[in-house]
């Protein structure tokens, strides 16, 4: 009889302990992902192939002050928000296709001016530092000559870094993009030189 009582008491104690631990686990708040966390598939809550609506909810949770969702200039649904990446204030944008995130792009919030293409590349190198620290040195780079600009593209890990310099006005457009395959990037370069250097 004593053994039965002890056994029942032990079972009760275990059940109470398990219930207490379960309650404690439920009370642990969900830690939101940092909006500028660089990952293999994207940035913050924007992950390639991820559910667009879930990413939208997450964006308004982690970057409520600047988050925006709507139809972009290309006619595709997009979500974006602003924040600091390293020493640069940037905009992060996710674009959808079939309710899934197809590409993620990070751009400088304001387009800087550069005296020449070399200055534009120096701006790109500063912008790219967080990506190079995360994914390693550029694996390949090439140039594309366009009627109004010269574009230098370089890949680090899953990210394509672009520096596009417009010699007419000196604008230097710098961006990083997830979701660009090597063959797609190569097709952009009908007049590219130095591919793979």
- DSSP code for 38: E
At which of 80, 109, 138 does a domain end?
Answer: 109
Edge to edge, the sheet with strand 42-43 lists: 38-39, 42-43, 46-47
Task: Tell me how far apart the alpha carbons of residues 193 and 52 are, in angstroms, rounded to a whole number.
Answer: 37
In a domain, 3, yes or no: no
Residue 192 tokens read as 């590219």
118 shares its domain with 91: no
Write out pLDDT tens, residues 125-148.
999 999 999 999 999 899 998 989
Residues 105 and 115 in one domain: no
Are 87 and 133 within one domain? no
Q: What is the pLDDT of residue 15?
A: 42
Return the pLDDT at 72.
81
Element (H, E) at 85: strand 77-85
Flag residues of the chain having pLDDT under 50: 1-31, 183, 185-197
Does residue 85 share a domain with residue 41?
Answer: yes
Q: Of 109, 132, 151, which residue is a domain's last? A: 109
Final residue in a domain of this structure, among 85, 109, 133: 109
User: Quick one: tokens of 29?
Assistant: 């708040």
Contact predicate 178/104, CB 8 Å:
yes
Pair 84, 144 in one domain: no
Which structural domain, as residue segments, surrounds residue 103? 34-109
Q: Residue 19 domain-assigned?
A: no
Q: What is the pTM of this model?
A: 0.75
Backbone torsions φ then ψ of 41, nearest 5 degrees: -110, 5
81 & 116 share domain: no
Give the pLDDT confidence score for residue 23 in this predicted structure. 34
CA 138 to chain centre: 18
DSSP 30: P
What pLDDT does 119 receive? 95
Q: Does residue 16 belong to any structural domain of this protein?
A: no
Token digits for 17? 């302990």
Whether residue 6 lies inside any domain: the answer is no
Distance between CA atoms of residues 72 and 87, nearest Å: 27
**Total number of domains in the chain:** 2
For the record, the structure tokens of 13 come out as 């104690």
Structure tokens at 31: 């830690």
């Amino acid at each position: 009889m004593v053994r039965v009582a002890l056994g029942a008491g032990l079972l009760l104690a275990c059940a109470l302990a398990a219930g207490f631990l379960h309650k404690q686990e439920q009370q642990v708040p969900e830690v939101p992902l940092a909006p500028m966390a660089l990952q293999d598939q994207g940035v913050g809550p924007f992950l390639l192939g991820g559910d667009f609506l879930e990413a939208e909810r997450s964006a308004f949770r982690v970057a409520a002050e600047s988050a925006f969702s709507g139809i972009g200039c290309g006619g595709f649904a997009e979500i974006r928000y602003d924040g600091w990446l390293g020493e640069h204030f940037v905009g992060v944008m996710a674009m959808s296709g079939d309710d899934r995130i197809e590409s993620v792009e990070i751009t400088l919030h304001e387009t800087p001016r550069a005296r020449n293409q070399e200055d534009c590349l120096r701006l790109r190198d500063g912008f790219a530092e967080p990506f190079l620290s995360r994914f390693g040195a550029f694996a390949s780079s090439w140039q594309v000559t366009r009627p109004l600009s010269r574009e230098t593209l370089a890949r680090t890990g899953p990210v394509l870094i672009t520096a596009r310099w417009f010699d007419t006005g000196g604008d230097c457009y710098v961006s990083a993009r997830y979701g660009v395959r090597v063959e797609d990037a190569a097709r952009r370069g009908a007049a590219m030189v130095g591919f793979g250097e």
